[in-house]
Amino acid sequence: MRVLLFLLVLAALTASDVRAQRDPPRLGVSLVAEGEVVQGLLCPGLCVAIVNNQRHPIALRRVTWTDYPADERPWLAPVIGDARRDDEKISLNPMIKGVSKVEFERGLLLPGEKLVVPTPMTPQADVHEVKIEFVDLDRSARIFFPQAGETVFVPLAPDAVRSRAHAGRLAVVDFGATPQVSTCAETLKIPLRQDHQKTGGASAEQAARAAGITFPEGSLSWYRPALGAWIFCLPDQAMVAAARDGRSWKKRDLPKMSPAAPDLLGAEPEGMMRVDLPFGGFEEIRAKYTLKSPEIGAVDGKTLLPPRVAWDVLNECARNNWRVKVTTNPYARGLTRVLEVVKGDAGG
């Protein structure tokens, strides 16, 4: 009897191993790196390629690097315009002011489809784990795809699921039931290298030591060429900088920032910093540099600051305990991120 039980267990384990070898992973995940990847520098061409290996569609909810800023991309959100629907179609008029009451998917993947997702970051090591959150679409889900020009959306025929290329375009999904979010995590090799000529002549550790900054293990670091400084996020979430001062490095205090914010410091052409400044602050800086006040709540970052002004803004934020965060336009069809100064100790 014991021998028979042992044989049954062995057969079950063997069958499980065979299925694991035969069945591909639910998602295929690989790295796409355009351009060089230098320690400390933002790599805007870093992308993650995602392939849906399942027999049913999926919708992305988040694609983020573990232990790095979360993905704030609006995968499911309204769009600018008016959307009207009936049983047969959904009509979108982007010329009408306002926000649609219908939410649109931006990361729908049919079986076998591939989507390359931009995941810009400043790599901290030569390996990083990427985490992908998604929902499965079962047979009860009704999918509306655009016919042409993304203005008229019609139901997807069941026989078209395997034949229609759609990845990356807008879609609308009516879920038969509240979908459960699944997670896929993959560790990817990053082609990272050091180039001190592009990081102020020093590594992060060397600059921190020269400026008298304790740089413990687990700290994040960014080099911002426009500011001539290494920026550190310490394990207690405090932000501090080692700025180039002639041949030496000088410690400079920084305001509280979300971990995503350093990537956008001086990231615009010619080292400009795009930031949404609030009213009721920066009067001296506005007078000194004749800055115009952007609209309240603007998320397109109408104020472009050169590096010398950026330091003044950061100093003012530090003195007033104002926080610098990243704002994402929830209605943009692409990834639109800008810096925003928030009064008080606001999160984000």
Same-domain status, 88 and 154: yes
The answer to the question of residue 265 being in a domain is yes
Give helix then strand counts, H and E, for the chain. 4, 24
With CA atoms as reference, report the closest residue to 134 among 76, 66, 49, 70: 76
| Domain limits for position 127 | 26-189
| Lookup: tokens for 281 | 């602050």
The answer to the question of residue 130 being in a domain is yes
The answer to the question of residue 2 being in a domain is no
Among residues 189, 204, 234, the one where a domain terminates is 189
Q: Distance (Å, rounded) from C-alpha 190 to C-alpha 228?
A: 25
Same-domain status, 107 and 220: no
Q: Distance (Å, rounded) from C-alpha 85 to C-alpha 166?
A: 21
Same-domain status, 31 and 149: yes
Same-domain status, 233 and 179: no
Among residues 126, 160, 189, the one where a domain terminates is 189
- Three-state DSSP state, 73: coil
- Confidence (pLDDT) at 16: 43
Same-domain status, 126 and 212: no
The answer to the question of residue 201 being in a domain is yes
Same-domain status, 158 and 268: no
With CA atoms as reference, report the closest residue to 331 among 92, 80, 94, 95: 80
Same-domain status, 134 and 241: no
Same-domain status, 315 and 166: no
- Confidence (pLDDT) at 268: 80
Mean pLDDT by 10 residues, the chain (348 residues): 50 45 75 92 93 93 83 82 87 88 92 91 92 91 82 76 63 87 95 94 94 86 94 85 93 89 85 76 71 45 75 89 80 64 63
Among residues 189, 206, 228, the one where a domain terminates is 189
Same-domain status, 208 and 326: yes
Same-domain status, 174 and 43: yes
**What value, to the nearest 5°, has the Cα angle with vertex 260 and ends 258 and 263?**
130
Same-domain status, 173 and 207: no
The answer to the question of residue 312 being in a domain is yes
The answer to the question of residue 157 being in a domain is yes
With CA atoms as reference, report the closest residue to 50 among 167, 191, 156, 129: 167
Same-domain status, 51 and 155: yes
Domain count along the chain? 2
